[in-house]
């Protein structure tokens, strides 16, 4: 049994890195606009370069300082300035570096950047790229508005982060209130996830989201209508929030998990990555797949088809009643532990706490846990308890009463109604069994099964030994 996993969610750092890269590029161009390297040429020329250009410099090394500290430096193949100094055009920006407190924080390149002083707008084109040791981002073009204090990038935003690649559209960042939004986000790469049967836990994952937000807290990232898919699982949620400083993830609103062995639904799931622990709360529903369907990951699960029972046949004297025989076989199947793996099990409760550290994977189920298994032709069996513990690696489920009472109850379509202090169910292949302590209750049996006695006599027939009379 596997719950939501943290990787399902690690894509949140992508946009944080994107915002940092854009902000570094913005500061570099903003500070460049403050300098006037052409002051000594003012008034000396009258549009000699055409198109209103008053000054031009080639192969320029630019260093921008702020309060005695180097903040940006780069090389430009050419810098053109209009005579009124209200327009700058920088071509082929190379070897760009952004500094903070004397340390290099990011690098950048761009094919072309223009700045219009009257509007306060930078247009950066020619596949601008920003990167550091954690993230790289590239877009066809960026728009930086100094007056509105915002950065925009349309479709085609791509990059790398966390050992994977990403893409996004309509990236919007307002650096005044530190708010970043992006649409149509997708990240792909290997992530550590607690997938059942995986030795290392690492698998290739693709994460998509219709919308992503980072608000005033840069350590909190919010995804909307998110989906995370791997080879062996699929996770969906209306809203996923990651607290990167504490490494806690909260998935809310119609949380779905589709895995090789189970399908899981809950209103809310909280994942504590540092502790390798997840908690699902609310109206929790867990469908454990039958053996024949395990290993298949599908977004929709259908109940098994219910076969029709044959109609009863006319019986001759002394013949076996097929209806009674079918009922007897049905009751035996309902009571058997050997077919536990053959049919789906629906588990409902109000809380599941799942520990997914390798070697100690287990789930603690509380809040009126109930497990119901539908067999065939309307037959079923059901167990309720105060608390249940599922040990994943041992394939062992133990159900407990509250205190020392007999709070575990087993019922089935055969009419059995039993209570116990504890019940242990093993689903290990070839060793399926059900055991318990202090079991008592009612178990319905036919008269033929009691002491192996003979069936009751027919009307007019005397009961007794044959022959004499």
- All domains in the chain, ordered by first residue: 7-293 (2.60.450.10), 334-449 (2.60.450)
Name the more confident of 360 and 218.
360
Output 362 or 144, whichever has higher pLDDT: 362
**For the chain, what percent of residues have pLDDT higher than 90?**
24
323 — pLDDT class (breaks 50, 70, 90): low
The helix/strand/coil state of 99 is strand
> Residue 372's pLDDT is what?
92
| 300 vs 165, higher pLDDT | 165
- In the chain, % of residues over pLDDT 70: 74
Please report where in the chains the tokens 């070897």 appear, as a residue: 95
Question: What gap in Å lies between CA 398 and CA 388, rounded to an integer?
Answer: 6
Pairing of strands 157-161, 150-153: unpaired
Please determine, for residue 32, whether its predicted confidence score (pLDDT) is greater than 50.
no
pLDDT band at 24 (very low <50, low <70, confident <90, very high): very low
Give the range with max mean pLDDT: 85-89, 210-214, 246-250, 333-337.
210-214
pLDDT given at position 427 = 79
pLDDT, greater one: 295 or 386: 386
pLDDT at 381: 93
Residue that wins the pLDDT comparison between 35 and 246: 246
Q: Give residue 267's pLDDT band: very low, low, confident or very high (50, 70, 90).
A: very high
Q: Quick: pLDDT tens for 106-142.
A: 888 999 988 888 888 888 898 998 888 777 889 999 8
What is the model's pLDDT at position 380? 93
3-state helix, strand, coil in the chain (%, to 5): 10, 50, 40
CA-CA distance, 236 to 229, in Å (whole number)? Answer: 9
Q: In the block, which residue shows the tokens 């109940």? A: 303
Nearest-CA neighbor of 15 among 204, 253, 244?
A: 244
Read off the pLDDT of residues 310-321 as tens digits, 9 standing for 90 and up: 333 333 444 446
- Angstrom distance (rounded) from CA 117 to CA 313: 95
Gap between the Cα atoms of 109 and 25, Å rounded: 9
Cα 144 to Cα 25, 29, 94, 164, 224: the distances in Å are 9, 9, 19, 27, 26
User: Stretch 330-359: mean pLDDT, rounded?
Assistant: 86
Which comes out higher in pLDDT, residue 10 or 205?
A: 205
Query: Is the pTM for the entire model greater than 0.95?
Result: no
The mean pLDDT value for 156-163 works out to 82
Q: What tokens were used for 401?
A: 């009463």
Return the H-helix or E-strand segment holding 26: helix 12-34
Q: Which pLDDT score is estimated for 452?
A: 52
**For residue 48, pLDDT beyond 80:** no
- Residue identified by tokens 């009124």 is 84
Confidence check: pLDDT of 469 > 50? no
* Residue from 377, 371, 379, 416 nearest 397 by CA: 371
Joined tokens for residue 295 = 């290993």
The listed range with the strongest mean pLDDT (27-31, 83-87, 141-145, 260-264) is 141-145
Tell me what the pLDDT averaged over the chain comes to. 76
**Each residue's pLDDT tens digit, 393-449:** 888 899 999 998 999 999 999 999 999 999 998 878 778 888 999 999 998 776 555
The pLDDT of residue 226 = 93
């Amino acid at each position: 049994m596997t719950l939501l996993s943290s990787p399902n969610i690690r894509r949140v750092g992508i946009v944080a890195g994107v915002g940092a890269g854009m902000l570094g590029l913005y500061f570099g161009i903003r500070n460049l606009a403050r300098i006037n390297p052409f002051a000594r040429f003012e008034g000396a020329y009258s549009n000699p370069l055409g198109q209103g250009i008053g000054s031009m410099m080639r192969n320029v090394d630019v260093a921008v300082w702020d309060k005695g500290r180097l903040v940006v430096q780069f090389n430009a193949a050419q810098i053109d300035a209009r005579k009124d100094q209200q327009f700058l055009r920088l071509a082929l920006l190379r070897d760009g570096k952004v500094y903070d407190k004397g340390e290099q924080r990011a690098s950048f390149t761009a094919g072309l950047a223009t700045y219009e002083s009257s509007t306060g707008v930078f247009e950066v084109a020619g596949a601008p790229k920003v990167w550091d040791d954690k993230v790289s981002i590239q877009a066809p073009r960026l728009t930086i508005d100094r007056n509105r204090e915002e950065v925009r990038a349309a479709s085609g935003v791509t990059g790398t982060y966390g050992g994977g690649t990403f893409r996004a559209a309509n990236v919007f960042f307002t650096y005044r209130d530190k708010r970043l939004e992006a649409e149509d986000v997708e990240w792909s790469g290997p992530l550590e996830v607690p997938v059942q049967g995986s030795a290392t836990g690492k698998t290739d994952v693709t994460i998509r989201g219709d919308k992503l937000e980072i608000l005033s807290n840069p350590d909190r990232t919010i995804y909307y209508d998110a989906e995370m898919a791997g080879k062996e699982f699929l996770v969906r949620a209306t809203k996923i929030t990651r607290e990167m400083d504490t490494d806690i993830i909260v998935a809310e609103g119609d949380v779905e998990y589709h895995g090789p062995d189970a399908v899981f639904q809950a209103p809310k799931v909280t994942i504590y990555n540092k502790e390798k622990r997840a908690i699902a709360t609310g109206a929790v529903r867990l469908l454990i797949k039958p053996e024949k369907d395990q290993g298949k990951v599908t977004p929709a699960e259908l109940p098994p088809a219910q076969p029709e029972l044959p109609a009863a046949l006319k019986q001759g004297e002394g013949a076996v009643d097929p209806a009674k025989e079918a009922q007897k076989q049905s009751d035996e199947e309902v009571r058997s532990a050997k077919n536990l793996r053959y049919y789906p099990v629906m588990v409902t409760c109000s809380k599941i706490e799942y520990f997914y550290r390798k070697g100690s994977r287990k789930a603690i189920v509380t809040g009126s846990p109930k497990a119901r298994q539908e067999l065939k032709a309307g037959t079923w069996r059901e167990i309720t308890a105060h608390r249940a513990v599922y040990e994943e690696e041992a394939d062992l489920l133990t159900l407990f009463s509250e205190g020392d009472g007999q709070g575990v109850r087993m019922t089935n379509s055969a009419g059995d109604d039993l209570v116990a202090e504890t019940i242990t169910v093993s689903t290990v292949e070839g060793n399926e069994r059900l055991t318990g302590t202090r079991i008592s209750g009612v178990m319905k049996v036919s008269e033929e099964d009691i002491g192996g006695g003979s069936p009751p006599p027919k009307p007019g027939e005397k009961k007794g030994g044959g022959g004499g009379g």
